[in-house]
Amino acid sequence: MRKLAAGLPALLVVGCLVALAPSSPAASRRTATSRPNTWIGSPVQVVQTTANLRQHLTPLPDLWFAPGRPRGVPVIRVDDHVRYQRVTGFGAAMTDSSAWLIHDMLPAPARTAVMNDLFSREGIHLDFLRLPIGASDFTVGGQPYSYDDLPPGESDPQLLHFSVAHDDAYIVPTLREMLGIDRRVEILATPWSPPPWMKTNDSFDNLNGFGSLEAWAYQPYADYIVKFIQAYAARGIPIAALTPQNEPQARSPFPGLELSPAEEANLIVQNLAPALRAADLHPAIYGGDRGAQLHYPQTLLASPARTLLAGISWHCYGGMDVMGTLHQEDPRIPEIVSECSPGIIPYPVSEVAIDATRNWASAVGLWNLALDPAGGPVQPPNYGCGGCTGLVTINKHTHSVALGRGYYQFGQVSKFVEPGAFRIRSDRLVSDFHSPSGAYGVTAGLDDVAFLNPNGERVLVAYDNSPTPIQFAVQWRGRSFLYKLRPWATVTFTWSRTA
């Protein structure tokens, strides 16, 4: 159980009224709390991150459920008898840039510390990782690469020149260090582009939509993905899931592929799934892997590929309520968010985790694990991610690490929600919106999401998505407590089955 231990004697109304010294993610020692005579059960533990980071994953005084129903304040009623999707995990992407910054730009003690900050129980305990197959737009030196690069005009359908040697320098060692901390981290692998010789434009990019797969290249591309999974397995790195293509049909100057939903369905049915079976590999296959365009997964799910898909993968760009729409249409299909990049979205990181899971995501992945202060290294002209920030920031000149607001906000969920947890019912006091101008996001106010961990612990995460403090009540099984949350602050409440 990812707990921050008991605290000081509690007031009924707390939060912005209590000032404690800042703590690290590992802060976990708190003094025991005596139970008030009129309150019931075991304590509710409270951990908070404020916008100014004066509190960052800071344990606050325990609360207790009291008899009676609150009046005159908004109420979040938690009902753990109503269960929704099962949670896979929360995490981010280990791009070429992220791995290089962590492995090559940090001295060993700092590298160990930041990996523990990210993946250990003393840190924020990420348990889901997205891994590019070859280059994304975030590559060291800004040059794309594949695992079978050849001079223009040459081809290698038998993949005789295939090699992941590029990754052995810093990606593979960093992944091994991650798995040494937590072997259960689930890795989702995704290609941005096949080797250029497989494409109609003989280039990594997909400018003007000219970068389609050659008709003869579907099987070599499937074999290419299989060989990647095999090479990583030989290095002790299991690939649990994959998507056939990142943002298919994105007209990008960085690695991309023009792949329609019908073509993706054909690739999965005729080539990829048979090649995986022949190699005795069984990763989960998620389709789509793009932003809020409903027609793409609808077409996939209406095709023969449906029976081979573990679910649909989304990016948060354009709004996450599209996942809720797909769930209404097809509630049996699991959904995940594989990419959502802080710095270019209208969602604070707390809201990413809340809104995604509210909209049926079983896994939530941010974009780069680590970037430098300028948002790189990235392939120029950084067409796709200007303003993007990493979950952690690594300065390649000073070799230092900064843990920012997004790190602590994400930790308010990832640190406390275990793989295998169920999302459970809780009242939502805000909603997703879309404006005629194209803006999207979540309305201002108090947002929340609740989970039931496999060990029976309840977790409620609340975020004040407004410029004013909000007092509210949490009600569970006929009991309740009050809390006052600061503007833009995130709080996590945890309590046991005996509370």
pLDDT, tens digit, 9 for 90 and up, residues 349-371: 999 999 999 999 999 999 999 99
What is the per-residue pLDDT across 409-457, written as a single tens digit (0 to 9) for each?
999 999 999 999 999 999 999 999 999 999 999 999 999 999 999 999 9
pLDDT-based confidence at residue 69 (cuts at 50, 70, 90): confident
Give the residue-averaged pLDDT of 201-216: 98
Q: Using alpha carbons only, how large is the chain's radius of gyration in Å? A: 23
What CA–CA distance (Å, rounded) separates 456 from 177? 30
Per-residue model confidence (pLDDT) at position 17: 34
Percentage of the chain beyond pLDDT 90 is 90
What CA–CA distance (Å, rounded) separates 330 from 322? 12
- 92 & 236 share domain: yes
Residue 6 inside a domain? The answer is no
- 61 & 197 share domain: no
Q: Is the pLDDT of residue 110 over 70?
A: yes
Phi-psi bin for 134: left (phi > 0), alpha (psi -120 to 50), beta? left
Residue 160 inside a domain? The answer is yes
Q: Which helix (H) or strand (E) holds 356?
A: helix 349-358
End-to-end CA distance of the chain: 16
Closest by CA to 118, choosing from 416, 419, 391, is 391
- 167 & 275 share domain: yes
**Cα dihedral 214→286→98→89 (10° resolution):** 180
Please state, as a whole number, how many other Cβ atoms lie within 10 Å of the Cβ of residue 243: 25
- 250 & 359 share domain: yes
- 181 & 254 share domain: yes
Residue 30 inside a domain? The answer is no
Residue 247 inside a domain? The answer is yes
Secondary structure (DSSP) of 79-109:
EEEEEEEEP-EEEEE--HHHHHHHHHSS-HH
What is the per-residue pLDDT across 122-153, written as a single tens digit (0 to 9) for each?
999 999 999 999 999 999 999 999 999 999 99
Number of domains in the chain: 2
What average pLDDT does the chain have? 93
Q: Is the pLDDT of residue 35 over 80?
A: no
**Domain CATH code at residue 100:** 3.20.20.80
What is the per-residue pLDDT across 77-93, written as a single tens digit (0 to 9) for each?
999 999 999 999 999 99
Residue after which a domain boundary falls, among 365, 398, 414: 414
Closest by CA to 204, choosing from 271, 267, 132, is 132
Residue after which a domain boundary falls, among 414, 440, 472: 414
Give the residue-averaged pLDDT of 251-269: 98
Per-residue model confidence (pLDDT) at position 497: 75
- 244 & 325 share domain: yes
Residue after which a domain boundary falls, among 378, 394, 414: 414
Q: Is the pLDDT of residue 7 over 60?
A: no
The DSSP call for residue 267 is I
Q: Are 46 and 57 in contact (CB under 8 A)?
A: no
- 159 & 236 share domain: yes
Lowest mean pLDDT across 39-53, 317-331, 456-470: 39-53
- 389 & 481 share domain: no
- 69 & 101 share domain: no
What CA–CA distance (Å, rounded) separates 474 from 481? 6
Residue 4 inside a domain? The answer is no
- 223 & 136 share domain: yes
Q: Are 65 and 41 in contact (CB under 8 A)?
A: yes
Give the residue-averaged pLDDT of 233-239: 98
What are the backbone angles phi and psi of residue 489, rounded to the nearest 5°? -95, 155
What CA–CA distance (Å, rounded) separates 459 from 2? 11
User: In sequence order, which residues have a C-beta less than 8 Å from that of residue 302 and are 6 or more positions away?
Assistant: none
Q: Is the pLDDT of residue 491 over 90?
A: yes
- 143 & 267 share domain: yes
- Where are the strands (E) in 4-110, listed by range? 40-49, 58-67, 75-86, 89-93
Residues comprising the chain, all counted: 499
What is the per-residue pLDDT across 152-200, written as a single tens digit (0 to 9) for each?
999 999 999 999 999 999 999 999 999 999 999 999 999 999 999 999 9
Give the residue-averaged pLDDT of 315-334: 98
Residue 431 inside a domain? The answer is yes
What CA–CA distance (Å, rounded) separates 54 from 63? 21
- 407 & 440 share domain: no
Residue 238 inside a domain? The answer is yes
**Domain CATH code at residue 60:** 2.60.40.1180
Q: What is the value of pTM for the model shown?
A: 0.92
What are the backbone angles phi and psi of residue 231, rounded to the nearest 5°? -65, -40
Structure tokens at 467: 């410029």
Q: Are 66 and 39 in contact (CB under 8 A)?
A: yes
Residue 19 inside a domain? The answer is no
Q: Reduced to 3 states, what is the DSSP secondary structure of residue 13?
A: coil
Q: Is the pLDDT of residue 5 over 60?
A: no
Domain that holds residue 77: 40-85+421-495
